[in-house]
Structure 1
Amino acid sequence: MKETSKHKEAKRIREIVSNFWISRIILTANNLRVFDELEKPLTAKSVAKRLALDPRATELLLNSLVSLKFLRKKGNRFINTSTASKYLVRQSPFYLGDIIRHNEVLWTNWSYLNEVVKTGKPANKAFELESFILGMHNLARLKKDILIKQLNLKGIKRILDLGGGPGTYSMEFAKRGKDVYLFDRPETLEIARTLIDKEGLGDRITLLQGDFLTDPIGSDYDMVLMSQILHAYGKRDIKSLLKKTWKALNTSGILVIHEFYLDSTLTEPLTGAIFSINMLVNTPQGRTYSVRELKEFLKGSGFKILGVHRLDDTVLIRSQKRR
């Protein structure tokens, strides 16, 4: 038996432990705007000169990005692969650079995981609002078409996008002629307003500012969307928010929850399990909830379940206010 096959699991452990090397390479390339420069072929020396980088270090970085399939190399020139052009160049409609910048912030907080597990308290070492909100916009743009497709908007006129961040889904509702209300904190809405105005939808979306846990959220809504907000809170706050939302909905109004999720063992899928640790590191009580738990929250707050739809690594739960 070969030595490599005898210790295959040892290799897997080494690969997992060193995966942060790869993350750091991509974070750095994104921070330095390397991909923006390489929409046309350039030498490492040219890239270094354009971005005021060290030539030797730049060449090593670019070579590693070739190995990771983000760049192609012909002779001594480098150029983006189609993947990099689609997701890592600022001008692309599918740009992920902002959520990558947000992961740069998370890098700092995750470095305190030892202490977090010992104390049970979040790291609270780093936070940067713009990259977080724009990063949510990056991700929502990838999900918006499939998410909207799963919603039955027939007869729905007045929609609340609760904790809607950048307003990505609000804009989609507005484009479909709905009366849309986007509720979030004032500083978040400043960023959302810029994105909304850029789309020419400023007069079609009403911005409501406040803390949805403590402030009024309005009333007479036909539908409320909660996309990726419940995981930041503990059970008590979630139940309180759902009861407040029940009161804000019209008779037979619809509540839609969109979340990362876990199975009943709370161990699968991997994305949900790892995201729970992200919430442990960054929030006092947040975690990923199982589909069963989310449904129980809804039923206990006066809603009946209409449907559960898995959207790759997230779940969409449609529910209706019980009379």
Structure 2
Amino acid sequence: MSDISPELLMDTVLGYFRTSAIKAAIELDVFTAIAEGAGTVAAISRRTGAAEPGIQALADYLTVLGFLDKSGDGYRLTASSAAFLDRRSPAFLGDFHRFLAAPEMLGLALSDPAAFVRNGGSVGLANTAPEDPVWVSFARYMAPFFGPIAEATAAHFAGLTPAPGRILDIAAGHGLFGIAFARRFPAAEVVALDWDNVLGVARENAAAAGLGARYRTLPGSAFDVPFGGPYDIILMPNFLHHFDEAACIGLLAKARAALAPSGRVAIVEFVPNEDRVSPPMPAMFAYIMLATTPGGTSFPPSALRRMLAHAGFREPDFAPLAPSPQTLVVAEVA
């Protein structure tokens, strides 16, 4: 019976301290300090202005978690920490805790989890409320994570003939998916749809990319606003998981009606295997949606195939977007 242990239970119940530690380290720029040569408790303390006992406990905790390596009295970054947590790195992702661990998100997850499990979804609209300011935070702080995924999605269409001329980016958020397509296809025009408060971030990013008149915005709900068209490609990055299957079919059918005869829908999602417990991040994402949406979930391939078929699309192609945990799903109009 040596494999029986309360360690997993203890570790899980105390999981919020992992969030606490990483937030503290990012706010104090501990990772950047170590990357710049402050490798001891005393040196990190001097660079960050934090007390040595605090840095000692934090650095050791981060070492146990796998964010730091320790040898003697010295600390150094792991390869992943150097890539994603050194603020000088072009791949820096540290600030996305400002969305993922925002007070609103923590409240949804921890205030009464039994209630959303009983209810089969959040009690109320949660993150699907109109003009929710949390999505402005998403657009600003999650953009570094989704930038490479957007580029990989656009690259998937590199050989498409003829090149797409009109593209609709639904739930555009930061706008990076539509912007990646506009860069890939210099003659393409992109329409970005989202709440108007969120589209402010997309407009900033499109202006920085120099897209000018090739980038337009369409404020409002994807369920209510007419899409116009016809479009050659309709992008749905990280959107379907907010809704139940019936709502997704309706949204996909609306997209199909706005596509040109040879048009395609490009969906980016966390797609678990049919067992719904692997791979880890896509599988666990269903619980996150349970806590934060009235009816959202992560859909396995069979569900996506079924929804697309009901909406009038052909058999989809699934393309993993490694090293991210997401999958690109592309389906052509039937």
The interval holding the TM-score normalised by the smaller chain is 0.7 to 0.9
2:326 alignment counterpart: 314
Q: What letter matches 2:20 in structure 1?
A: R
What's the offset of the Cα at 1:309?
A: 2.1
- SS of equivalent to 1:285: coil
Count how many residue pairs are aligned between Structure 1 and Structure 2: 318
Once residues 197 and 76 of structure 2 are traced to their aligned partners in structure 1, the CA distance between those partners, rounded to angstroms, is 38
What's the offset of the Cα at 1:77?
A: 5.8
2:175 alignment counterpart: 167
2:292 alignment counterpart: 282
Once residues 273 and 69 of structure 2 are traced to their aligned partners in structure 1, the CA distance between those partners, rounded to angstroms, is 40
Q: Which runs of 5+ in 2 are unaligned?
A: none
Cα shift readout 1:56-80 (whole Å, capped 9, x = no counterpart)? 2122212333444434557756554
Once residues 11 and 316 of structure 2 are traced to their aligned partners in structure 1, the CA distance between those partners, rounded to angstroms, is 43
2:161 alignment counterpart: 154
Q: What letter matches 1:7 in structure 2?
A: D
- SS of equivalent to 2:332: strand
Does the Cα contact within 8 Å between 2:272 and 2:301 map onto a contact in 1?
A: yes
Once residues 61 and 302 of structure 2 are traced to their aligned partners in structure 1, the CA distance between those partners, rounded to angstroms, is 43
Cα shift readout 1:15-49 (whole Å, capped 9, x = no counterpart)? 44444433432232123332233331225445445
Does the Cα contact within 8 Å between 1:136 and 1:165 map onto a contact in 2?
A: no
What's the offset of the Cα at 1:142?
A: 3.2
Q: Which runs of 5+ in 1 are unaligned?
A: none
Describe how 1:27-38 pairs up with structure 2 within 5 A.
27-38=23-34
1:242 alignment counterpart: 252
Once residues 25 and 110 of structure 1 are traced to their aligned partners in structure 2, the CA distance between those partners, rounded to angstroms, is 18
TM-score by length of 2: 0.83
- SS of equivalent to 1:183: strand
Once residues 109 and 57 of structure 1 are traced to their aligned partners in structure 2, the CA distance between those partners, rounded to angstroms, is 29
Q: What letter matches 2:242 in structure 1?
A: A
Q: What letter matches 2:109 in structure 1?
A: W
**1:25/1:206 CA distance change after superposition, 3 Å:** same
What's the offset of the Cα at 1:137?
A: 1.5
- SS of equivalent to 1:304: coil
What's the offset of the Cα at 1:164?
A: 1.9
Once residues 164 and 171 of structure 1 are traced to their aligned partners in structure 2, the CA distance between those partners, rounded to angstroms, is 10
Cα shift readout 1:188-211 (whole Å, capped 9, x = no counterpart)? 111122223333334432222211
Once residues 20 and 95 of structure 1 are traced to their aligned partners in structure 2, the CA distance between those partners, rounded to angstroms, is 22
TM-score by length of 1: 0.86
Describe how 1:51-62 pairs up with structure 2 within 5 A.
51-62=48-59
Is residue 2:230 matched to residue 1:231?
Answer: no
2:98 alignment counterpart: 101
Once residues 274 and 69 of structure 2 are traced to their aligned partners in structure 1, the CA distance between those partners, rounded to angstroms, is 43
1:122 alignment counterpart: 122
2:142 alignment counterpart: 136
- SS of equivalent to 1:180: strand
What's the offset of the Cα at 1:231?
A: 0.2
Cα shift readout 1:240-263 (whole Å, capped 9, x = no counterpart)? 211211111111211111211233
2:189 alignment counterpart: 179
1:87 alignment counterpart: 84
What's the offset of the Cα at 1:228?
A: 0.9
Does the Cα contact within 8 Å between 1:98 and 1:132 map onto a contact in 2?
A: no
Q: Which moved more, 1:301-310 or 1:157-166?
A: 301-310
What percent of counterpart residues are identical? 26
Does the Cα contact within 8 Å between 1:95 and 1:138 map onto a contact in 2?
A: yes
Once residues 69 and 77 of structure 1 are traced to their aligned partners in structure 2, the CA distance between those partners, rounded to angstroms, is 15
What's the offset of the Cα at 1:277?
A: 0.8
Does the Cα contact within 8 Å between 1:166 and 1:189 map onto a contact in 2?
A: yes
